[in-house]
Structure 1
Amino acid sequence: MIKLICSDVDGTLVPDGGHELNPEYFDQIRRLKKAGILFAAVSGRSYSSLKKLFAPVIDDILFICDNGARTIYQGSLLSCYTIRHELAMELVREIEALPGCTTYISALKDGYVKEGADELYRWLTEGYQLDITKLRRMPEDLPADDGILSVELYHPTAAEEIAHQGLYQKWHGHRELQLVCAGKQWMNFTPINADKGIALSEYQNMHGISPQETMAFGDNMNDASMLLRADYSYAIGNARKEIKGLTRFVADTNMNDGVLQVLRTIK
């Protein structure tokens, strides 16, 4: 019997940066909860964005935010991992030096971009509906008292390709950080002890839920560790081929509400 259903958000439930869900998702989430099945939104987004997207069912679901750096249920913080401030600043300086790239920082109190990154600011605030502060200097003006959950390289079309021109080779395998692609625009750096799969595994162990009782949906490389911890693993129809290669099933695309189609079949 399924006890936990986990789904990525961007590229899986909605297009990247989307801020509206098909309202039937809320009906299905409530129905599943009554049947003893918990739904988890597992996303690279911060809680400030997810709680708006899932507002009608905010107390009915589990939130695994910032690619696993923070887990929240019914407003209570279950786990939280941060990046050392000095390490984050070093990383941001390298990102900001790359052609066409800039940085988004997700932190406990706020999100941060630099002044002048107007396209990114609009997308984060209007699409993702994040709470964002502009900094005159990046990273020098980062508040020292705000815990950094993730550092994200942004490029409008080719984040992964640019990162593989040296940045990836330097930071991949770092003893304090994980680096993963989250879409054509994003490369995400998170604490080494925080990713979607680790956060899911911690929750499974805490509540005695096995992979055989878990279903998961995803589309990109930052979903891989989560999908590997669910026996009922689904790549969405528009997923990367690497993700389709590691899951047991393939659902329809996000534009056709592929996840919703599967949820309707669960009794």
Structure 2
Amino acid sequence: MLKLICSDVDGTLVPDGGHDLNPEYFTQIRHLKKNGILFAAVSGRSYSSLKKLFAPVIDDILFICDNGARTIYHGNLLSCYTIRRELAMEIVREIEALPGCTTYISAVKDGYVKEGADELYRWLTEGYQLDIKKLKRMPEDLPANDGILSVEMYHPTRAEEIAHQGLYQKWHGHKELQLVCAGKQWMNFTPINADKGIALSEFQNRYGITPGETMAFGDNMNDASMLLRADQSYAIGNARKEIKSLTRFVADTNINDGVLQVLRTVKTNIQ
């Protein structure tokens, strides 16, 4: 029996950086909850963005945020993992030295970009609807009292390609970090004990939910660990080929509300 449905957000429910979710999702989420099936938003976004996107059902769903670094359920913080400050600052300095690249830092209290990163700031605040502060010096002006959940390398079109010119080789496999591609614009550094799959597994274990009782949807490499913990795994139609080869099923694209199409089928099955 299905108990948990998990979905990535950007590239899966909405285009990257989108903030308009088909209102029928909220209807489906409420119907699923009435029938004992919990919906989880599992995203690289921070909670400040997700709580706005899912405002009509904020009390009805599970939030796995910041690529698994933070999990929130019924307003309660279930887990929170951070990157050591000195390590994060070293990564930021290396990102800022790369041509055409800049950094977004997701922290417990706020998100941060440097002054002058106007394109990125607009996208984060207007598209993702994140709460962002600008720093005159990056990373030197990062508040010492704000825990760092993730460090994200941004390039408008070639983040993964540029990262593989040396940055990825240096940091991949680091004992304190995970490094994964989250779209053509993003390479994400997160704590070693925090990814979408780990966070999902912790929740499953805590509430006695098995992979056989779990469905999941994703499109990019940072979704892989989550998809492996759901027997009913779906790549979205616009997903990377590596993700399509990993999952049992392929749904329609995000533009065509591929996840919603499957949720309607689940609704029919439980009526």
TM-score by length of structure 2 reads 0.98
How many residue pairs get aligned? The number is 267
Give the match's secondary structure for 1:206.
helix
Distance in 1, Cα, partners of 2:144 & 2:165: 30
* Shift of residue 232, structure 1, vs aligned partner: 0.1
**Distance in 2, Cα, partners of 1:75 & 1:112:** 23
1:205 corresponds in structure 2 to: 205
For 1:19-71, what per-residue CA distance to the aligned partner results, in whole angstroms no more than 9, with x for missing partners? 01000000000000000000000000000000000000000000000000000
**Aligned-CA RMSD value:** 0.3
- Which structure 2 residues correspond to residues 53-202 of structure 1 after superposition, within 5 A? 53-202=53-202
Query: How many Å apart are 1:144 and its aligned residue?
Result: 0.8
Deviation sequence 1:144-182 (CA, Å, 0-9, x none): 110000000000000000000000000000000000000
What CA distance in whole angstroms lies between the structure 1 residues aligned with 2:161 and 2:207? 40
Structure 2 distance, partners of 1:206, 1:74, is 15
Distance 2:170 2:7 in 1: 31
Q: Distance in 2 between matches of 1:132 and 1:114?
A: 10
User: What is the alpha-carbon distance in structure 2 between the residues aligned to residue 207 and residue 23 of structure 1?
Assistant: 28
User: Equivalent residue for 1:257?
Assistant: 257
SS in 1 for 2:182: strand
**Quick one: distance in 2 between partners of 1:117 and 1:238?**
29
In structure 1, runs of 5+ residues without a counterpart are none
Secondary structure of the residue aligned to 1:36 is: coil
User: C-alpha displacement at 1:3, in angstroms?
Assistant: 0.1
**SS of corresponding position for 2:201:** helix
Distance 2:129 2:22 in 1: 17
The normalised TM-score by structure 1 is 1.00
- 3-state DSSP class of the match of 2:265? coil
Cα distance in 2, alignment partners of residues 202 and 254 from structure 1: 28
Helix, strand or coil for the counterpart of 2:36?
coil
Please give the alpha-carbon distance, in whole angstroms, between the structure 2 residues aligned to 1:257 and 1:42: 17
Take 1:246 and 1:91, find their aligned partners in 2: how far apart are those partners? 30
Matches of 1:264 and 1:146 in 2, distance apart? 41
Instruction: Determine the C-alpha separation between the residues in 2 that align with 1:86 and 1:157.
Output: 28
Matched residue of 2:243: which SS? helix
Give runs of ≥4 in structure 1 deviating > 6 Å.
Answer: none
Q: Deviations over 1:176-229 (max 9, x none)?
A: 000000000000000000000000000000011000000000000000000000
What displacement does 1:75 show?
Answer: 1.0
| Superposed displacement of residue 74, structure 1 | 1.4
CA distance in 1, matches of 2:54, 2:205: 25
* Distance of 1:65 and 1:44 partners within structure 2: 6
